[in-house]
Amino acid sequence: MKIRHAIFSILLLSLIATVLGADVVIAQARGARAGAAAAAPRAQQVHGTLLQVMRGILFPNSNVLFSSQSVDPASVQKDADPTASVNPLAGAYGGWEAIENSGLAMAEAANLLTIPGRVCGNGKPVPVQNADWQRFVQGLRDAGTATYKAGQSKNMDMVLDAADKVTTACMNCHEVYREKTSAQGGMAARCTK
Ligand code: HEC
């Protein structure tokens, strides 16, 4: 039965090819190939300055972890409508899951700190090529992973340990690339050594 179907399909196709003309069929096949190429994954794109990535992703996600140093995530009451919550700990994916998610957000954000083409708030390029920048980014990645594991383990000691790692990871980079006194050039000197 199946074989008969296949034979019939081939006959039908060759009939169509004859009717339309082989050129049309070949052109269609070429078009399909071009379509497949266009659907390939697009290159990474930059949408915000480094300052915006810090304020929009790292600041809120690290605070989810930091606030849990003194409050057991499991004890956080869910918001009245958890699906509309602006507090990850009290939302639909709250409690310990929120610690996991903030850890992953920080680890994933490490990737955003290394893609080319991003500028800092002052217009200077993010120094992605510097060896110490890459080391600091790795520190953030490790701290984010430690946070994720703390969330999975539901262990308060691991939360404290992860919070320590995250604080250190943020600080190590800020000391070199963010904290610039006016004598050092202030904001305009950020993202340079
Ligand atoms: C690899 C380097 C690096 C790491 C790691 C890093 N930062 Fe930053 N951060 C910077 C730089 C550089 C700036 C200044 C950005 C600018 O002005 O464009 C900044 C700015 C900020 C700002 C904005 C300050 C302002 O002027 O408003 C916040 C908030 C911030 N970082 C939070 C964090 C937190 C929280 C972490 C850790 C979870 C972190 N950052 C990790 C480099 C880093």
pLDDT one-digit tens code per residue, 108-144: 999 999 999 999 999 999 999 999 999 999 999 999 9
Residues 94 and 183 in one domain: yes
Which atom belonging to ligand 1 lies closest to the Cα atom of 133? 1
pLDDT at 12 over 80: no
CA of 126 to the centre of ligand 1 (A): 11
Q: What is the DSSP letter of 40?
A: S
Contact indicator for 88, 74 with CB cutoff of 8 Å = no
Between 145 and 5, residue with greater pLDDT? 145
Question: Which protein residue has the closest C-alpha to ligand 1 atom 21?
Answer: 54
Is 184 part of a structural domain of the chain?
yes
Is 110 part of a structural domain of the chain?
yes
Give the residues surrounding ligand 1 with Cβ less than 6 Å away.
49-51, 54-55, 58-59, 62, 106, 113, 120-121, 133, 136-137, 140, 166, 169-170, 173-174, 177-178, 190-191
Question: Which protein residue has the closest C-alpha to ligand 1 atom 3?
Answer: 173
pLDDT at 47 over 60: yes
Is 45 part of a structural domain of the chain?
no
Residues 9 and 93 in one domain: no
Residues 72 and 20 in one domain: no
Its sign, for the CA torsion 86, 150, 108, 49, is positive
Note down the domain range covering 12: 2-38
Residue-level pLDDT at 43: 85
pTM comes to 0.83
Is 43 part of a structural domain of the chain?
no
pLDDT at 16 over 50: no
What's the one-letter identity of residue 130? N
